[in-house]
Protein backbone atom coordinates (compact mmCIF):
# COMPACT_ATOMS: atom_id res chain seq x y z
CA UNK A 1 0.00 0.00 0.00
CA UNK A 2 1.52 3.32 -1.06
CA UNK A 3 1.86 6.40 1.14
CA UNK A 4 -0.97 8.22 -0.63
CA UNK A 5 -3.47 5.47 0.18
CA UNK A 6 -2.20 5.24 3.77
CA UNK A 7 -2.76 8.99 4.14
CA UNK A 8 -6.30 8.66 2.75
CA UNK A 9 -7.10 5.92 5.27
CA UNK A 10 -5.55 7.98 8.09
CA UNK A 11 -7.93 10.78 7.18
CA UNK A 12 -10.93 8.50 7.71
CA UNK A 13 -9.98 8.44 11.39
CA UNK A 14 -9.02 12.10 11.77
CA UNK A 15 -11.33 12.58 14.77
CA UNK A 16 -9.27 10.09 16.76
CA UNK A 17 -6.18 12.22 16.24
CA UNK A 18 -7.43 15.42 17.87
CA UNK A 19 -5.54 15.68 21.15
CA UNK A 20 -6.67 13.89 24.29
CA UNK A 21 -9.55 11.77 22.96
CA UNK A 22 -10.63 8.13 22.76
CA UNK A 23 -9.88 6.22 19.58
CA UNK A 24 -9.23 2.67 18.48
CA UNK A 25 -7.29 0.05 16.55
CA UNK A 26 -7.52 -0.38 12.77
CA UNK A 27 -6.06 -3.46 11.07
CA UNK A 28 -6.24 -4.27 7.36
CA UNK A 29 -4.86 -7.50 5.90
CA UNK A 30 -4.77 -8.01 2.13
CA UNK A 31 -3.62 -11.19 0.42
CA UNK A 32 -2.04 -12.40 3.64
CA UNK A 33 -0.07 -9.23 4.40
CA UNK A 34 -0.77 -6.47 6.90
CA UNK A 35 -1.11 -3.40 4.68
CA UNK A 36 -2.44 -0.99 7.30
CA UNK A 37 -2.19 -1.15 11.09
CA UNK A 38 -2.73 1.90 13.27
CA UNK A 39 -3.63 2.76 16.85
CA UNK A 40 -5.34 6.07 17.56
CA UNK A 41 -6.27 8.04 20.66
CA UNK A 42 -6.50 6.97 24.27
CA UNK A 43 -7.73 3.78 25.90
CA UNK A 44 -8.19 5.70 29.15
CA UNK A 45 -8.61 9.45 28.81
CA UNK A 46 -8.50 10.14 32.57
CA UNK A 47 -5.18 8.38 33.02
CA UNK A 48 -3.89 9.42 29.57
CA UNK A 49 -3.15 5.82 28.56
CA UNK A 50 -2.84 5.60 24.78
CA UNK A 51 -4.38 2.88 22.66
CA UNK A 52 -1.71 0.31 21.79
CA UNK A 53 -1.76 -3.00 19.89
CA UNK A 54 -2.21 -4.67 23.31
CA UNK A 55 -5.31 -2.66 24.28
CA UNK A 56 -8.28 -4.96 24.79
CA UNK A 57 -11.71 -3.79 23.60
CA UNK A 58 -15.24 -4.92 24.33
CA UNK A 59 -16.46 -5.72 20.79
CA UNK A 60 -20.18 -6.11 21.59
CA UNK A 61 -22.18 -7.98 18.92
CA UNK A 62 -19.09 -8.99 16.96
CA UNK A 63 -19.13 -11.68 19.67
CA UNK A 64 -22.05 -13.49 18.06
CA UNK A 65 -20.03 -15.35 15.43
CA UNK A 66 -17.87 -16.87 18.19
CA UNK A 67 -21.03 -17.91 20.01
CA UNK A 68 -22.28 -19.65 16.89
CA UNK A 69 -18.90 -21.34 16.44
CA UNK A 70 -19.14 -22.75 19.98
CA UNK A 71 -22.54 -24.18 19.06
CA UNK A 72 -21.26 -25.55 15.76
CA UNK A 73 -18.37 -27.33 17.47
CA UNK A 74 -20.92 -29.15 19.62
CA UNK A 75 -22.80 -29.89 16.39
CA UNK A 76 -19.61 -31.45 15.01
CA UNK A 77 -19.35 -33.46 18.22
CA UNK A 78 -22.82 -34.87 17.55
CA UNK A 79 -24.32 -33.24 20.63
CA UNK A 80 -26.64 -30.74 18.92
CA UNK A 81 -29.35 -31.11 16.29
CA UNK A 82 -29.66 -27.70 14.65
CA UNK A 83 -33.27 -28.34 13.68
CA UNK A 84 -34.38 -29.55 17.07
CA UNK A 85 -36.70 -27.52 19.30
CA UNK A 86 -34.59 -25.61 21.82
CA UNK A 87 -36.70 -27.25 24.55
CA UNK A 88 -34.67 -30.38 23.81
CA UNK A 89 -31.69 -28.73 25.51
CA UNK A 90 -32.98 -25.91 27.73
CA UNK A 91 -36.66 -26.61 28.54
CA UNK A 92 -36.42 -24.61 31.76
CA UNK A 93 -35.64 -21.43 29.75
CA UNK A 94 -38.69 -21.61 27.45
CA UNK A 95 -42.19 -20.42 28.30
CA UNK A 96 -43.69 -19.63 24.86
CA UNK A 97 -45.72 -22.37 23.15
CA UNK A 98 -44.22 -22.16 19.64
CA UNK A 99 -41.44 -24.45 18.46
CA UNK A 100 -38.19 -22.55 17.97
CA UNK A 101 -35.22 -24.43 16.55
CA UNK A 102 -31.55 -24.00 17.37
CA UNK A 103 -30.89 -22.98 13.76
CA UNK A 104 -33.55 -20.25 14.00
CA UNK A 105 -31.74 -18.83 17.03
CA UNK A 106 -28.38 -18.59 15.27
CA UNK A 107 -29.95 -17.09 12.13
CA UNK A 108 -31.95 -14.41 14.01
CA UNK A 109 -35.31 -15.62 12.66
CA UNK A 110 -36.73 -17.09 15.87
CA UNK A 111 -39.15 -14.33 16.87
CA UNK A 112 -37.78 -14.38 20.43
CA UNK A 113 -37.99 -10.87 21.85
CA UNK A 114 -34.78 -8.92 22.37
CA UNK A 115 -33.35 -9.03 25.88
CA UNK A 116 -32.05 -5.44 25.95
CA UNK A 117 -35.35 -3.96 24.80
CA UNK A 118 -37.19 -6.06 27.39
CA UNK A 119 -34.78 -4.95 30.09
CA UNK A 120 -35.23 -1.34 29.06
CA UNK A 121 -39.01 -1.63 29.25
CA UNK A 122 -38.81 -2.87 32.83
CA UNK A 123 -36.47 -0.01 33.77
CA UNK A 124 -33.06 -1.66 33.59
CA UNK A 125 -30.35 0.70 32.35
CA UNK A 126 -27.15 -0.13 30.52
CA UNK A 127 -25.08 1.08 33.49
CA UNK A 128 -26.95 -1.20 35.92
CA UNK A 129 -25.20 -4.37 37.00
CA UNK A 130 -26.73 -7.08 34.79
CA UNK A 131 -25.89 -10.76 35.19
CA UNK A 132 -26.39 -13.69 32.83
CA UNK A 133 -29.08 -15.07 35.11
CA UNK A 134 -30.92 -11.72 34.94
CA UNK A 135 -30.97 -12.03 31.16
CA UNK A 136 -32.02 -15.68 31.11
CA UNK A 137 -34.83 -15.10 33.60
CA UNK A 138 -36.50 -12.33 31.64
CA UNK A 139 -36.16 -14.29 28.38
CA UNK A 140 -37.60 -17.37 30.07
CA UNK A 141 -40.64 -15.43 31.29
CA UNK A 142 -41.80 -14.60 27.76
CA UNK A 143 -45.14 -16.18 26.95
CA UNK A 144 -45.19 -15.04 23.33
CA UNK A 145 -42.97 -14.17 20.37
CA UNK A 146 -42.64 -11.20 18.05
CA UNK A 147 -43.74 -13.33 15.09
CA UNK A 148 -44.04 -16.91 13.88
CA UNK A 149 -40.59 -18.55 13.98
CA UNK A 150 -38.94 -18.38 10.56
CA UNK A 151 -41.37 -15.78 9.21
CA UNK A 152 -38.88 -12.91 9.12
CA UNK A 153 -35.46 -11.71 10.12
CA UNK A 154 -35.41 -9.58 13.25
CA UNK A 155 -32.21 -9.02 15.17
CA UNK A 156 -32.50 -10.28 18.74
CA UNK A 157 -29.73 -10.54 21.31
CA UNK A 158 -31.83 -13.07 23.23
CA UNK A 159 -31.09 -15.72 20.59
CA UNK A 160 -27.40 -15.74 21.42
CA UNK A 161 -27.86 -15.61 25.19
CA UNK A 162 -29.86 -18.83 24.77
CA UNK A 163 -27.18 -20.36 22.53
CA UNK A 164 -24.56 -19.69 25.20
CA UNK A 165 -26.80 -21.44 27.71
CA UNK A 166 -27.06 -24.47 25.41
CA UNK A 167 -23.25 -24.55 25.04
CA UNK A 168 -22.69 -24.45 28.79
CA UNK A 169 -25.30 -27.09 29.52
CA UNK A 170 -24.06 -29.57 26.91
CA UNK A 171 -20.34 -29.01 27.42
CA UNK A 172 -20.38 -28.88 31.21
CA UNK A 173 -17.99 -25.92 31.03
CA UNK A 174 -18.38 -22.19 31.41
CA UNK A 175 -18.81 -20.37 28.12
CA UNK A 176 -15.39 -18.73 28.35
CA UNK A 177 -13.71 -22.02 29.30
CA UNK A 178 -15.25 -23.78 26.31
CA UNK A 179 -14.18 -21.07 23.86
CA UNK A 180 -10.72 -20.86 25.39
CA UNK A 181 -10.24 -24.62 25.01
CA UNK A 182 -11.72 -25.02 21.53
CA UNK A 183 -11.08 -21.63 19.86
CA UNK A 184 -8.86 -19.09 21.61
CA UNK A 185 -5.94 -21.33 22.58
CA UNK A 186 -5.79 -23.34 19.31
CA UNK A 187 -5.79 -20.08 17.30
CA UNK A 188 -3.24 -18.36 19.54
CA UNK A 189 -5.70 -15.65 20.66
CA UNK A 190 -3.81 -14.89 23.87
CA UNK A 191 -5.48 -11.50 24.50
CA UNK A 192 -9.06 -12.69 24.00
CA UNK A 193 -11.69 -13.78 26.51
CA UNK A 194 -15.39 -13.55 27.29
CA UNK A 195 -16.27 -11.29 30.20
CA UNK A 196 -18.72 -13.43 32.16
CA UNK A 197 -19.25 -11.11 35.15
CA UNK A 198 -19.26 -7.35 35.44
CA UNK A 199 -16.67 -7.50 38.27
CA UNK A 200 -14.16 -9.49 36.19
CA UNK A 201 -10.75 -7.87 35.72
CA UNK A 202 -9.32 -7.84 32.20
CA UNK A 203 -5.75 -6.55 31.72
CA UNK A 204 -5.28 -3.64 29.29
CA UNK A 205 -9.03 -3.11 28.93
CA UNK A 206 -10.16 0.15 27.29
CA UNK A 207 -12.76 2.45 28.85
CA UNK A 208 -15.85 3.62 26.95
CA UNK A 209 -16.40 7.34 26.24
CA UNK A 210 -19.44 9.13 24.86
CA UNK A 211 -18.63 11.96 22.43
CA UNK A 212 -20.85 14.91 23.37
CA UNK A 213 -19.49 17.04 20.50
CA UNK A 214 -17.73 19.51 22.80
CA UNK A 215 -16.43 17.04 25.42
CA UNK A 216 -16.32 13.36 26.35
CA UNK A 217 -18.14 11.52 29.14
CA UNK A 218 -17.47 8.10 30.66
CA UNK A 219 -20.14 5.79 29.17
CA UNK A 220 -20.44 3.08 31.80
CA UNK A 221 -21.01 -0.55 30.75
CA UNK A 222 -21.78 -3.04 33.51
CA UNK A 223 -22.72 -6.10 31.49
CA UNK A 224 -22.14 -9.45 33.08
CA UNK A 225 -23.93 -11.22 30.23
CA UNK A 226 -22.50 -13.11 27.29
CA UNK A 227 -23.36 -14.96 24.12
CA UNK A 228 -24.78 -11.89 22.43
CA UNK A 229 -21.89 -9.70 23.61
CA UNK A 230 -18.94 -9.38 26.01
CA UNK A 231 -16.15 -10.79 23.83
CA UNK A 232 -12.98 -8.86 24.68
CA UNK A 233 -10.16 -8.87 22.16
CA UNK A 234 -7.68 -6.88 20.10
CA UNK A 235 -7.72 -6.24 16.37
CA UNK A 236 -4.59 -8.37 16.00
CA UNK A 237 -6.10 -11.27 17.93
CA UNK A 238 -9.36 -11.10 16.03
CA UNK A 239 -7.54 -11.40 12.72
CA UNK A 240 -6.33 -14.80 13.95
CA UNK A 241 -9.98 -15.81 14.27
CA UNK A 242 -10.74 -14.47 10.79
CA UNK A 243 -7.92 -16.55 9.32
CA UNK A 244 -9.98 -19.60 10.27
CA UNK A 245 -12.64 -18.56 7.73
CA UNK A 246 -10.05 -19.03 4.97
CA UNK A 247 -8.03 -21.92 6.37
CA UNK A 248 -10.14 -23.72 8.96
CA UNK A 249 -8.12 -25.44 11.66
CA UNK A 250 -10.58 -25.63 14.56
CA UNK A 251 -13.59 -26.87 12.59
CA UNK A 252 -14.62 -28.52 9.35
CA UNK A 253 -15.04 -26.41 6.17
CA UNK A 254 -18.66 -27.60 6.02
CA UNK A 255 -19.27 -26.03 9.43
CA UNK A 256 -18.22 -22.63 8.14
CA UNK A 257 -20.51 -22.99 5.14
CA UNK A 258 -23.47 -23.49 7.47
CA UNK A 259 -22.45 -20.37 9.40
CA UNK A 260 -22.11 -18.28 6.24
CA UNK A 261 -25.42 -19.39 4.66
CA UNK A 262 -28.36 -17.03 5.28
CA UNK A 263 -31.62 -18.44 6.53
CA UNK A 264 -34.45 -19.23 4.13
CA UNK A 265 -37.64 -17.70 5.48
CA UNK A 266 -41.00 -19.43 5.59
CA UNK A 267 -42.05 -17.74 2.34
CA UNK A 268 -38.98 -19.14 0.55
CA UNK A 269 -37.09 -15.85 0.42
CA UNK A 270 -33.49 -15.64 1.71
CA UNK A 271 -32.60 -13.55 4.73
CA UNK A 272 -29.49 -11.34 4.89
CA UNK A 273 -28.37 -12.83 8.20
CA UNK A 274 -26.57 -16.12 8.66
CA UNK A 275 -24.97 -17.76 11.70
CA UNK A 276 -23.78 -14.72 13.62
CA UNK A 277 -22.79 -13.03 10.36
CA UNK A 278 -24.31 -10.62 7.87
CA UNK A 279 -23.70 -11.35 4.21
CA UNK A 280 -23.66 -9.00 1.24
CA UNK A 281 -21.59 -7.65 -1.60
CA UNK A 282 -19.86 -4.43 -2.63
CA UNK A 283 -20.11 -4.01 -6.40
CA UNK A 284 -19.62 -7.72 -6.99
CA UNK A 285 -17.19 -8.29 -4.10
CA UNK A 286 -18.92 -10.67 -1.67
CA UNK A 287 -18.33 -10.30 2.06
CA UNK A 288 -19.28 -11.45 5.52
CA UNK A 289 -19.38 -8.85 8.26
CA UNK A 290 -20.70 -7.87 11.67
CA UNK A 291 -20.72 -4.74 13.75
CA UNK A 292 -20.89 -4.22 17.49
CA UNK A 293 -22.23 -1.42 19.69
CA UNK A 294 -22.52 -1.34 23.49
CA UNK A 295 -22.33 1.88 25.53
CA UNK A 296 -19.75 3.79 23.44
CA UNK A 297 -17.73 0.74 22.45
CA UNK A 298 -17.85 0.13 18.70
CA UNK A 299 -16.39 -2.66 16.58
CA UNK A 300 -16.61 -3.87 13.01
CA UNK A 301 -15.20 -6.86 11.17
CA UNK A 302 -15.49 -7.58 7.46
CA UNK A 303 -13.98 -10.24 5.25
CA UNK A 304 -14.06 -10.26 1.45
CA UNK A 305 -13.24 -13.96 1.28
CA UNK A 306 -12.81 -14.24 -2.50
CA UNK A 307 -10.53 -11.18 -2.54
CA UNK A 308 -8.57 -12.19 0.60
CA UNK A 309 -9.21 -8.79 2.22
CA UNK A 310 -9.97 -8.56 5.94
CA UNK A 311 -10.50 -5.62 8.26
CA UNK A 312 -11.02 -5.24 12.00
CA UNK A 313 -11.70 -1.99 13.81
CA UNK A 314 -12.13 -1.75 17.58
CA UNK A 315 -13.01 1.53 19.28
CA UNK A 316 -13.97 2.99 22.65
CA UNK A 317 -16.11 5.81 21.24
CA UNK A 318 -18.96 6.05 18.75
CA UNK A 319 -18.16 9.15 16.72
CA UNK A 320 -16.94 7.41 13.55
CA UNK A 321 -19.16 5.06 11.48
CA UNK A 322 -16.88 2.02 11.37
CA UNK A 323 -18.87 0.06 8.79
CA UNK A 324 -18.77 3.00 6.39
CA UNK A 325 -15.03 3.39 6.88
CA UNK A 326 -14.46 -0.31 6.18
CA UNK A 327 -16.36 0.01 2.91
CA UNK A 328 -14.37 3.10 1.99
CA UNK A 329 -11.07 1.30 2.63
CA UNK A 330 -12.28 -1.60 0.49
CA UNK A 331 -13.08 0.88 -2.33
CA UNK A 332 -9.57 2.29 -2.13
CA UNK A 333 -8.02 -1.18 -2.30
CA UNK A 334 -10.30 -2.49 -5.06
CA UNK A 335 -9.90 0.70 -7.07
CA UNK A 336 -13.61 1.50 -6.99
CA UNK A 337 -14.89 5.03 -7.37
CA UNK A 338 -15.76 6.84 -4.17
CA UNK A 339 -19.56 6.93 -4.06
CA UNK A 340 -21.10 10.35 -4.52
CA UNK A 341 -24.58 11.37 -3.32
CA UNK A 342 -27.17 10.45 -5.91
CA UNK A 343 -28.45 13.58 -7.68
CA UNK A 344 -32.15 14.17 -7.09
CA UNK A 345 -34.15 16.54 -9.23
CA UNK A 346 -36.66 16.97 -6.46
CA UNK A 347 -35.96 16.17 -2.82
CA UNK A 348 -39.10 16.38 -0.69
CA UNK A 349 -37.35 17.17 2.60
CA UNK A 350 -35.10 20.01 1.46
CA UNK A 351 -36.08 23.51 2.57
CA UNK A 352 -33.54 26.21 1.69
CA UNK A 353 -35.32 29.11 3.37
CA UNK A 354 -35.40 27.75 6.92
CA UNK A 355 -36.04 29.56 10.20
CA UNK A 356 -34.11 28.08 13.16
CA UNK A 357 -37.06 28.88 15.41
CA UNK A 358 -39.04 26.18 13.55
CA UNK A 359 -36.52 23.47 14.49
CA UNK A 360 -37.19 22.67 18.18
CA UNK A 361 -39.59 19.86 18.99
CA UNK A 362 -40.01 16.10 19.23
CA UNK A 363 -39.76 14.17 15.96
CA UNK A 364 -40.69 10.51 15.47
CA UNK A 365 -40.87 7.98 12.66
CA UNK A 366 -44.01 6.30 11.44
CA UNK A 367 -44.83 3.10 13.35
CA UNK A 368 -43.82 0.32 13.44
CA UNK A 369 -40.27 1.68 12.83
CA UNK A 370 -40.34 3.58 16.09
CA UNK A 371 -37.54 6.12 16.36
CA UNK A 372 -37.59 9.52 18.06
CA UNK A 373 -35.41 12.55 18.59
CA UNK A 374 -35.90 15.64 20.74
CA UNK A 375 -34.43 18.92 19.46
CA UNK A 376 -34.07 21.93 21.78
CA UNK A 377 -32.77 25.44 21.17
CA UNK A 378 -30.44 27.32 23.53
CA UNK A 379 -29.61 30.79 22.34
CA UNK A 380 -28.74 30.50 18.67
CA UNK A 381 -27.65 26.83 18.89
CA UNK A 382 -29.56 23.57 18.50
CA UNK A 383 -29.03 20.39 20.50
CA UNK A 384 -30.23 16.79 20.61
CA UNK A 385 -31.42 15.93 24.10
CA UNK A 386 -30.04 12.59 25.28
CA UNK A 387 -29.75 10.73 28.57
CA UNK A 388 -26.16 11.93 28.94
CA UNK A 389 -27.03 15.56 28.25
CA UNK A 390 -27.03 17.67 25.10
CA UNK A 391 -25.26 16.95 21.81
CA UNK A 392 -24.91 19.96 19.55
CA UNK A 393 -26.15 19.75 15.96
CA UNK A 394 -24.83 21.90 13.14
CA UNK A 395 -26.65 23.37 10.17
CA UNK A 396 -25.37 22.09 6.82
CA UNK A 397 -27.82 23.82 4.52
CA UNK A 398 -31.38 25.01 4.94
CA UNK A 399 -33.17 22.50 7.18
CA UNK A 400 -30.42 19.82 6.90
CA UNK A 401 -28.38 19.38 10.09
CA UNK A 402 -25.47 17.16 11.11
CA UNK A 403 -25.86 15.56 14.53
CA UNK A 404 -22.75 15.88 16.67
CA UNK A 405 -19.48 14.71 15.15
CA UNK A 406 -20.85 11.45 13.80
CA UNK A 407 -22.33 10.64 10.42
CA UNK A 408 -26.04 11.18 11.17
CA UNK A 409 -28.06 13.90 9.44
CA UNK A 410 -31.61 15.09 9.95
CA UNK A 411 -34.05 17.40 8.15
CA UNK A 412 -35.95 19.58 10.62
CA UNK A 413 -39.02 21.80 10.50
CA UNK A 414 -42.30 20.86 8.87
CA UNK A 415 -40.64 18.50 6.34
CA UNK A 416 -38.58 16.32 8.68
CA UNK A 417 -36.66 13.13 7.88
CA UNK A 418 -33.70 11.16 9.16
CA UNK A 419 -31.14 10.85 6.39
CA UNK A 420 -29.68 7.46 5.56
CA UNK A 421 -31.35 5.51 8.37
CA UNK A 422 -31.74 1.79 7.55
CA UNK A 423 -30.24 2.49 4.12
CA UNK A 424 -32.80 5.12 3.14
CA UNK A 425 -34.32 8.41 4.18
CA UNK A 426 -36.96 7.87 6.86
CA UNK A 427 -39.78 10.45 7.00
CA UNK A 428 -40.48 11.86 10.45
CA UNK A 429 -43.50 13.44 12.08
CA UNK A 430 -43.14 16.50 14.30
CA UNK A 431 -45.22 15.91 17.41
CA UNK A 432 -46.60 19.42 17.56
CA UNK A 433 -47.96 19.08 14.02
CA UNK A 434 -50.36 16.23 14.93
CA UNK A 435 -53.81 17.39 16.05
CA UNK A 436 -55.01 15.71 19.23
CA UNK A 437 -58.60 15.05 20.22
CA UNK A 438 -58.60 15.75 23.95
CA UNK A 439 -62.03 14.14 24.34
CA UNK A 440 -60.38 10.72 24.55
CA UNK A 441 -57.52 11.49 26.94
CA UNK A 442 -59.36 10.43 30.09
CA UNK A 443 -60.13 7.05 28.49
CA UNK A 444 -56.45 6.18 28.69
CA UNK A 445 -55.76 7.12 32.31
CA UNK A 446 -54.87 4.23 34.58
CA UNK A 447 -52.23 1.72 35.70
CA UNK A 448 -51.06 -0.92 33.21
CA UNK A 449 -49.16 -4.11 34.05
CA UNK A 450 -47.16 -6.81 32.26
CA UNK A 451 -46.32 -9.86 34.38
CA UNK A 452 -43.73 -11.24 31.94
CA UNK A 453 -41.33 -8.37 32.55
CA UNK A 454 -42.77 -7.66 36.01
CA UNK A 455 -43.41 -3.96 35.62
CA UNK A 456 -46.13 -1.32 35.56
CA UNK A 457 -46.73 1.93 33.68
CA UNK A 458 -49.13 4.72 34.60
CA UNK A 459 -50.94 6.86 32.01
CA UNK A 460 -52.34 10.20 33.09
CA UNK A 461 -53.62 13.49 31.70
CA UNK A 462 -52.18 16.84 32.76
CA UNK A 463 -53.41 20.17 31.37
CA UNK A 464 -54.68 18.64 28.16
CA UNK A 465 -51.60 16.51 27.51
CA UNK A 466 -51.07 12.78 27.98
CA UNK A 467 -48.12 11.26 29.84
CA UNK A 468 -46.61 7.82 30.50
CA UNK A 469 -44.87 7.26 33.83
CA UNK A 470 -42.59 4.50 35.12
CA UNK A 471 -40.70 4.24 38.40
CA UNK A 472 -37.32 4.06 36.60
CA UNK A 473 -37.99 5.26 33.06
CA UNK A 474 -39.69 8.35 34.49
CA UNK A 475 -42.34 10.56 32.95
CA UNK A 476 -42.62 10.82 29.17
CA UNK A 477 -44.92 12.95 27.05
CA UNK A 478 -47.20 10.91 24.80
CA UNK A 479 -47.60 12.39 21.32
CA UNK A 480 -50.62 11.40 19.27
CA UNK A 481 -49.92 9.62 16.00
CA UNK A 482 -53.54 8.69 15.44
CA UNK A 483 -56.45 7.86 17.67
CA UNK A 484 -55.44 5.17 20.22
CA UNK A 485 -51.82 5.21 18.99
CA UNK A 486 -49.24 7.37 20.77
CA UNK A 487 -45.46 7.74 20.71
CA UNK A 488 -43.35 8.52 23.78
CA UNK A 489 -40.83 11.34 23.97
CA UNK A 490 -38.43 10.32 26.72
CA UNK A 491 -35.26 8.32 27.28
CA UNK A 492 -36.57 5.76 24.80
CA UNK A 493 -39.13 6.03 22.02
CA UNK A 494 -42.05 3.63 22.27
CA UNK A 495 -45.19 3.08 20.28
CA UNK A 496 -48.18 2.78 22.63
CA UNK A 497 -51.23 1.20 20.98
CA UNK A 498 -54.27 1.32 23.27
CA UNK A 499 -56.68 -1.61 23.01
CA UNK A 500 -60.42 -1.24 23.51
CA UNK A 501 -63.07 -3.81 24.35
CA UNK A 502 -66.38 -4.35 22.57
CA UNK A 503 -67.96 -1.56 24.62
CA UNK A 504 -65.25 0.92 23.75
CA UNK A 505 -63.49 0.90 27.13
CA UNK A 506 -59.69 0.86 27.12
CA UNK A 507 -58.57 -2.55 28.42
CA UNK A 508 -54.84 -2.22 27.94
CA UNK A 509 -52.13 -1.33 25.48
CA UNK A 510 -49.45 -2.94 23.37
CA UNK A 511 -45.90 -1.60 23.27
CA UNK A 512 -43.95 -1.57 20.01
CA UNK A 513 -40.28 -0.87 20.59
CA UNK A 514 -38.14 -1.91 17.64
CA UNK A 515 -36.97 -5.42 18.52
CA UNK A 516 -39.97 -6.04 20.76
CA UNK A 517 -43.43 -5.73 19.24
CA UNK A 518 -46.96 -6.45 20.45
CA UNK A 519 -46.03 -6.92 24.09
CA UNK A 520 -49.27 -6.47 25.99
CA UNK A 521 -50.06 -4.55 29.18
CA UNK A 522 -53.39 -5.02 30.97
CA UNK A 523 -55.20 -2.10 32.61
CA UNK A 524 -55.48 -2.97 36.30
CA UNK A 525 -56.69 0.34 37.77
What does the alpha-carbon distance between residue 282 and residue 336 come to, in Å, rounded to a whole number? 10
Q: Is 344's pLDDT higher than 70?
A: no
Please state, rounded to an integer, the average pLDDT across all residues of the chain.
Answer: 92
User: Partners of 486 in the beta sheet?
Assistant: 480, 496
Q: Is 406's pLDDT higher than 70?
A: no
User: Confidence class of residue 219 from pLDDT cuts 50, 70 and 90?
Assistant: very high
Handedness of CA 309, 312, 317, 323 (dihedral sign): positive
Give the model's pLDDT for residue 438. 77
Give the model's pLDDT for residue 159. 98
Residue 268 Ramachandran class (φ > 0 left, ψ -120 to 50 alpha, else beta): left
Give the model's pLDDT for residue 387. 67
Picking from 155-159, 228-232, 312-316, 429-433, which range would have the lowest pLDDT averaged per residue?
429-433
Give the model's pLDDT for residue 402. 87
Render pLDDT for 61-103 as a digit per residue (tens, 0 to 9). 999 999 999 999 999 999 999 999 999 999 999 999 999 999 9
Give the model's pLDDT for residue 421. 57
Question: Which H or E run contains 139?
Answer: helix 132-140
Render pLDDT for 114-151 as a digit per residue (tens, 0 to 9). 999 999 999 998 889 999 999 999 999 999 999 999 99
CA 273 to chain CA centroid, Å, is: 14
With beta carbons less than 8 A apart as the criterion, state whether 333 and 30 touch: yes
Give the model's pLDDT for residue 342. 52
Percent of the chain with pLDDT over 70: 96
Angle, in degrees to the nearest 10, between helices 3-12 and 322-334: 160
Q: Is 386's pLDDT higher than 90?
A: no
pTM beyond 0.85, yes or no: yes
CB burial readout 164-192, b (16+ within 10 A) else e = bbbbbebbeeebbebbbebbbeebebebb
Render pLDDT for 433-477 as a digit per residue (tens, 0 to 9). 777 777 788 999 999 999 999 999 999 999 889 999 999 988 999
Residue among 251, 235, 274, 184 nearest 37 (CA): 235
Q: Is 341's pLDDT higher than 60?
A: no
With beta carbons less than 8 A apart as the criterion, state whether 338 and 331 touch: yes
More confident residue, 349 or 158: 158
Give the model's pLDDT for residue 96. 96
What does the alpha-carbon distance between residue 222 and residue 219 come to, in Å, rounded to a whole number? 10
Percent of the chain with pLDDT over 90: 75
How, if at all, do strands 372-378 and 476-482 pair?
Answer: unpaired
Render pLDDT for 299-334 as a digit per residue (tens, 0 to 9). 999 999 999 999 999 999 999 999 999 999 999 999
Residue among 135, 139, 131, 154 nearest 95 (CA): 139
Render pLDDT for 257-301 as a digit per residue (tens, 0 to 9). 999 999 999 999 999 999 999 999 999 999 999 999 999 999 999
More confident residue, 56 or 366: 56
Give the model's pLDDT for residue 223. 86
Q: Is 491's pLDDT higher than 80?
A: no
Q: Is 250's pLDDT higher than 80?
A: yes
Alpha helices in 33-108 (DSSP H): 64-76, 102-106
Q: Is 345's pLDDT higher than 80?
A: no
Mean pLDDT of all residues in 390-409:
83
CA 310 to chain CA centroid, Å, is: 22
Mean pLDDT of all residues in 166-184:
98
Handedness of CA 428, 120, 312, 214 (dihedral sign): positive
Amino acid sequence: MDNEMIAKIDQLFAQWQEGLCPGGQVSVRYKGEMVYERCFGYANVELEVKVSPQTVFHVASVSKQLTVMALMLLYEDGLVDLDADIRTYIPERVNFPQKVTVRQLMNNVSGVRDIWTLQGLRGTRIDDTITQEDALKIIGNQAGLNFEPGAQYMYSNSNFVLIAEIVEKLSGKSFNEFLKERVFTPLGMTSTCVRETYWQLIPNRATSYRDMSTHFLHNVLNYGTYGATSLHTTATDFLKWMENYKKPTICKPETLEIMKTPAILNDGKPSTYAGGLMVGELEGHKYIQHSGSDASFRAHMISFLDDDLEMVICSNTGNIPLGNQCMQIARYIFGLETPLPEPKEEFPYQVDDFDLNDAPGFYFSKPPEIMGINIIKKGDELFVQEGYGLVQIHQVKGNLFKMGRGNSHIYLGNKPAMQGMMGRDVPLTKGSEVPEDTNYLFDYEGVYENEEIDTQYTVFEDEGLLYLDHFRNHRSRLYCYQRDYYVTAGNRTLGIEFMRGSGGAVLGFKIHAGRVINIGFSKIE
